[in-house]
Amino acid sequence: MKELDRHASRPIHALSLGLLDYLLVVPGMMFGSYLMPVTLSLVGLYLGWKFTLVGLAACLATLAITDPLKHWAARPRPQPLEAPRRIPLRGLVKNPSFPSGDSAQAAMITMMLWLNAPMEGWPRHVLLLIAPACMFARVYFGAHWVGDTLAGAAIGAAVWFVFQGLFGDFLAA
């Protein structure tokens, strides 16, 4: 499994996107511990205070799942990348790699928006690109392997589905 993950991650780690690094850092960081409070506040401004409250609880639940798993799996992060990066995002992360907490939070927020945003048609479906953008950025900047981000996204989406089921009536009122 490790070899398959390394094989899938290597082409992304080897990419060099130049100035696009500055664009990719946004989805790469907006779901991490530094910016997640801002992200959650923006979602709350869009969807309402109840989503901020339930979203905060879902964030904490996601963290309560991913953080112990990181220390249990103890998977090392990728070594320094072959291709240069304009922003040293990899240097900001020190804890184990699996599962990706940022990808989990991104998938949780993505599902919250997709299920509840007052949008119709293709604009609503564009919201589904949020989590993959974060996942790609996390691998691109060398913070994760592809498998880390897939596992994290599955956890985050599952957490929101549970919270949507538990608090759907509260959110709709």
Which pLDDT score, from 0 to 100, does residue 82 have?
67
pLDDT averaged over the chain?
Answer: 91
Supply the pTM of this predicted model: 0.92
Q: Estimate the crossing angle of helix 49-73 against helix 101-116, to 10 degrees.
A: 150
Mean pLDDT of the region 49-60: 95
Return the C-alpha torsion angle 25, 18, 90, 59, nearest 10: 20
Which pLDDT score, from 0 to 100, does residue 90 have?
64
Of 80 and 136, which is predicted with more confidence?
136
| Cβ–Cβ < 8 Å for 76, 84 | no
The count of structural domains within the chain is 1
> Mind listing the pLDDT tens digit for each residue in 157-168?
999 999 999 999
Domain of residue 156: give its range.
2-172
Mean pLDDT of the region 71-84: 83
Cα separations in angstroms, 81 against 88, 108, 156, 157, 159: 10, 28, 27, 29, 32
Task: Please say if the pLDDT value at position 97 is more than 70.
Answer: yes
Q: How long is the chain?
A: 173
75: nearest Cα among 1, 129, 137: 1
